[in-house]
Amino acid sequence: MNDKDNQVTQEDEKQDSHLQSSQSSSSSIIIDFERDEHPHDWPSYRKWIVLLTLIPPVFLMPLSSTIIAPAVDTISTEFQVGSTVTGPLAVSLFLVTYSIGPLLLGPLSELVGRVPVLQGGNLFFLVFNLAGGFAKSFPQLLVFRLLSGFGASATLAVGSSTIGDCFRPEERGLGLALLNMGPVLGSCLGPIAGAYLTDYTSWRWAFHATSIFGGVAILVGICLARETYAPVLLRSKKDKLQSQPYYKDATLRTRFDMDDANKPDNESLAHLYKRTLLRSIRLLLTQPIVQVLALYYGYLYGLVYLVLSTFSTLWTTQYHMSTSRGSLNYLAPCIGYLLGAQTCAIIADKVYKYLKRNPEFRLPLMIPASLLIPIGLLIYGWTAEAQTHWIFPDLGIALPLMGATIIFQCTNAYLLETYSVYAASANGGVYILRGLTGFGFPLFSPPMYRALGYGWGNSVLGLTALVIGCPIPWFLWRYGEGLRRRSSWAEQ
């Protein structure tokens, strides 16, 4: 008998077994993935198509957060907003819901799947971002920015988790690097686009242009998106089998149902959503790994937006450039972001494979990256203070953003492997503090630079980065494995 006959016989026996099991109402059948059904076993082209559906919205949403930064003065003048703090709220309020949204949407994606959350969030963003372009007052604009930021956060909630769904741990470096290139490029190119739109058209076209881009991203998702979350895929498979006559009297369960021993048999949708929604908060309050990474990630994220929010002011006040010409200097942090992303893409997986397959071996790159941040801030601050040639402040700002990019990607990879199925909730916990710092840091940056100047102001930031940031990779390297072993949430 050849291999094909053997396979047919095995399938017949399997079907007979299922038929026999279904004869009794007390029978229980465990539903699991078969060959090539798990996203890890999909063909490479299918995984990269899934990644392709993420890149446009992942690029667009940070671009939308910074594209109106050069237009803050114009918006304040049009709506007669006098305070130097109130004007930047148009930028900062978007970041509040953009960063805190994953607290709600990350666990929700573990309930209903990645695709509904991603597409629903993109549509929510499109509606309120489009409305922002037609705002008739400053309070209207702030409300629309707040709501559009929540929709934009869907990509943040499911992006890195989708990479974890599709790619095995040793394959994730390039995918995470490409995914993280979107936010860093978007946040740097946004002010350049916004400056030219403000100078040559109107600040409202910043909203119109991003809305057009958002519509294209939704269409790409409709055509190419595919669900990747394993528990949702198995639940869908179970529901399809349950509707067949062979299984109508059988009890079908997935292996994830079996793993969750504390879940009631007839759990209501409201209870299920409540249980998953609170998971991010529980992880933040109970997991030291999430707590230290939230502290570090939050500080760096706020620092990045603090520096970027005042970067255009440097060129218009210290170097007396026009808004559009000065915005071209945003290419410097963009280059720093790209270097950081490519460093992770080339080196991260190689280091991980060479050392050992434990989550802690995602950390070595964070050590030199954490040193780039204070060094770069010192160069940027004192060369800007001395008004040296523009290349030196640009070089200075590229270094901390290169280091921050490496740290962001290593953090995402570490959480993916530490919390596995609950990675979206773990990231949601980290993003809580990130949202607060992303909102607050840009608000106090103008008074800080006025009081201390660029030199001492960036020296204070660099010293803080040195004290907070450099010990954290060493701490997790030394104690990370022990913390994982004592956690009921972590992947052992």
Q: What is the DSSP string of 212-237?
A: HHHHHHHHHHHHH-----HHHHHHHH
70 occurs within a structural domain: yes
Residue 23 has what pLDDT?
40
Strand partners, 30: 253
> In this structure, what are the phi and psi dihedrals at residue 210, rounded to the nearest 5 degrees?
-70, -30
Which residue is it, tokens 């016989």? 9
Give pLDDT < 50 ranges for the chain: 1-26, 261, 264-266, 268
- DSSP reduced 3-state for 58: helix
Residue closest to 118 by CA, chosen among 176, 165, 57, 182: 57
25 occurs within a structural domain: no
Write out the DSSP string of 104-165: HHHHHHHHH-HHHHHHHHHHHHHHHHHHHTT-SSHHHHHHHHHHHHHHHHHHHHHHHHHHHH
HSE-CB for 268 with a 13 A CA cutoff: 3
Distance CA 285, CA 189 (A): 36
Distance CA 173, CA 346 (A): 8
pTM: 0.74
* Same-domain status, 230 and 357: no
347 occurs within a structural domain: yes
pLDDT digits (tens, 9 = 90+) for 99-128: 778 777 877 887 888 999 999 999 999 999
pLDDT digits (tens, 9 = 90+) for 218-260: 999 999 889 998 888 888 888 888 777 777 767 777 777 655 5
28 occurs within a structural domain: no
* Same-domain status, 214 and 136: yes
* Same-domain status, 237 and 355: no
Residue 211 has what pLDDT?
94
Residue 276 has what pLDDT?
63
Asked if residue 202 lies in contact with residue 435, where contact means CB atoms within 8 angstroms, the answer is: no
* Same-domain status, 140 and 283: no
Residue 87 has what pLDDT?
61
* Same-domain status, 127 and 87: yes
Residue 17 has what pLDDT?
42
55 occurs within a structural domain: yes
* Same-domain status, 397 and 486: yes
Strand partners, 31: 254
Distance CA 217, CA 201 (A): 24
Distance CA 122, CA 417 (A): 27
Residue 15 has what pLDDT?
44
* Same-domain status, 206 and 316: no
* Same-domain status, 390 and 467: yes
* Same-domain status, 307 and 251: no
pLDDT digits (tens, 9 = 90+) for 312-340: 788 888 888 887 888 888 889 888 888 88
- DSSP reduced 3-state for 253: strand
- In CATH, what number is assigned to the domain containing residue 50? 1.20.1250.20
- Count of the separate structural domains present in the chain: 2
* Same-domain status, 334 and 201: no
Q: 172 lies in which domain range? A: 36-256
Asked if residue 441 lies in contact with residue 303, where contact means CB atoms within 8 angstroms, the answer is: yes
* Same-domain status, 322 and 454: yes
Residue 72 zone, left/alpha/beta (φ > 0; ψ -120 to 50; rest) = alpha
189 occurs within a structural domain: yes
Which residue is it, tokens 């940056």? 445
* Same-domain status, 312 and 184: no
